[in-house]
Amino acid sequence: MIEFISQPWPWYVAGPLIGLTVPTLLILGNRAFGISSSLRHICAACMPANLDFFTYDWRKEAWNLWFVGGILVGGFVGGVLLTNPHAMTIAPATVQALQTLGIGDFTSGLLPADLFNWSNVLTMKGLIFFVFGGFLVGFGTRWAGGCTSGHAIMGLSNLQWPSLVATISFMVGGFAMTHLGLPWLMKLAGF
């Protein structure tokens, strides 16, 4: 049984399970799926300041914190206790495209060790990829009124026009960064 659970699940199983989260949350408690709002709740709970953005009854949304906690526990169980016994496979074309940019060490799994390692955190490379990149993700999430999962999964299932615009923008931005921005950033970071 453990061996069966630790295998990667195909998209046609994992996708519908994620998709069924939306109606389950709506039917059981009229709740909206989303992760980025939990950061607001954590800030409101831990740093009650006189900022209008954090002045609300965050306890009414405490379920969201439990939901995110469950994701963290599930990630730990899936990533540590039920580790996939087989090596991760990455499409050869992807590996080749990244190697042309100077990223080639995939020995640690899906994340290239050339970028994602502790020695890069306090370097210019780390500043560009982690600090500046994290700021852009956080700012974009707030500006878009939600994260990619909230808009693409919850917003589209509720037929919300702003979520369609946001999801299309996420995709266009991702393609543009992959093909136009990433080569430039790699040169800037010294690859």
159-178: burial string, b at 16+ Cβ within 10 Å, e else: eeeebeebbeebeeeeeeee
Q: What is the pLDDT of residues 50-62, one digit of tens each?
A: 788 788 888 888 8
**pLDDT exceeds 80 at position 20:** yes
> Comparing C-alpha atoms, which of 149, 125, 155 is closest to residue 137?
149
Contact 112, 105 (CB under 8 A): yes
Please give the DSSP secondary-structure letter assigned to residue 131: I
Amino acid found at 176: A
Q: Is the confidence at residue 42, as pLDDT, over 80?
A: yes
Tokens standing for residue 76: 């730990």
How far apart CA 101 and CA 108 sit, in angstroms, is 18
What's the chain's average pLDDT?
Answer: 81
Give the pLDDT band of residue 129 (cuts 50, 70, 90).
confident
Q: Can you spell out the DSSP letters for 33-69? A: --STHHHHHHHHHH---S-GGG-S-GGGGHHHHHHHH
Residue 191 — very low, low, confident or very high, per pLDDT cuts 50/70/90?
low
Compute how many other C-beta atoms are within 10 angstroms of the C-beta atom of residue 134: 10
Q: Which residue is associated with the tokens 């990455």?
A: 90
The mean pLDDT value for 138-162 works out to: 83
Sorted by where each begins, the domain ranges of the chain are 1-86, 117-191
CA neighbor of 67 nearest in space, from 35, 111, 103: 35
- Tokens read off for 131: 């600090």
pLDDT at 89 over 80: no
Please tell me the pTM assigned to this model: 0.68
